[in-house]
Amino acid sequence: MTPSRLPLTQPWFEIRRSPIQGLGAFAVRAIPAHTRLIEYAGERIGHALVEVRRAREAKGRHHSFLFQATRRTVVDARVHGNEAKYINHSCDPNCKAVIERGRIWIESRKAIRKGHELAYDYSLGRDGTEAAADEARYRCHCGAGKCRGSILEPRVKALRNRVARTRRLRRPSGSSR
């Protein structure tokens, strides 16, 4: 049994119906800030298989459990996943995803009171070709005061990421910058 699959002796949360969407994770006790809660577990796959699985779900409502762990590896929580897959998105999250050595951990960003729903910002990547249908498909339901209306990454962040990638690609070989 891997560490992420061991039964939790003192679980931080339970899964139940969520006002955000479907099922969600709710604190069963007060959670201190910066607490590692759970590993995001699932089948580790490459990008070719990711595209096959995305194509299968492309026509319906977005409901993906795919999470990029490294440049080459994605974790699909639909296969061998755990309770982490039920932690919903929020534009004003109380948790964050931390990637260390190809493993994804969900940690509290701040203290969370008992009974509160756990959420992190999915910030799904944009490629700049998103149409109105894509925006509708990835609509956010978090209800936060600062809700940006989408689980996709903010447009400004996406633009900065594209500019940074372009600069890295244009850098001459051997350059240290």
Q: How many CB atoms lie within 10 A of CB 86?
A: 21
CA distances from 119 to 50, 67, 86 (A): 24, 15, 9
Strands 23-27 and 13-17: antiparallel
Which 3 state secondary structure label does DSSP give 10? coil
Task: Indicate the domain borders of the chain.
Answer: 3-122
Q: Rounded to 5 degrees, what are φ and ψ at 57?
A: -100, 0
Of the candidates 125, 119, 126, 128, which has an alpha carbon nearest to the alpha carbon of residue 147? 119
Digitized pLDDT (tens) for each residue of the chain, 177 residues in all? 444 444 555 589 999 999 999 999 999 999 999 999 999 999 999 989 988 887 776 665 556 788 999 999 999 999 999 999 999 999 999 999 999 999 999 999 999 999 999 999 998 888 778 888 878 888 999 999 999 999 998 876 545 555 455 455 555 545 444
Please tell us whether the domain made up of 3-122 is placed in CATH 3.40.50.2000: no
pLDDT at 64: 72
Q: Measured between alpha carbons, how far is 80 from 78 in angstroms, rounded to an integer?
A: 6
pTM score, whole prediction: 0.79
In this prediction, residue 175 carries a pLDDT of 44
Would you say 76 and 5 are in contact if contact means Cβ atoms under 8 Å apart? no
| Interatomic CA distance for residues 83 and 114, integer angstroms | 18
d(CA 11, CA 77): 19
Angstrom distance (rounded) from CA 140 to CA 127:
18
Judge residue 13's burial from the number of C-beta atoms within 10 Å of its C-beta, 0-12 exposed, 13-18 middle, 19 or more buried. buried
Q: Are 66 and 155 in contact (CB under 8 A)?
A: no
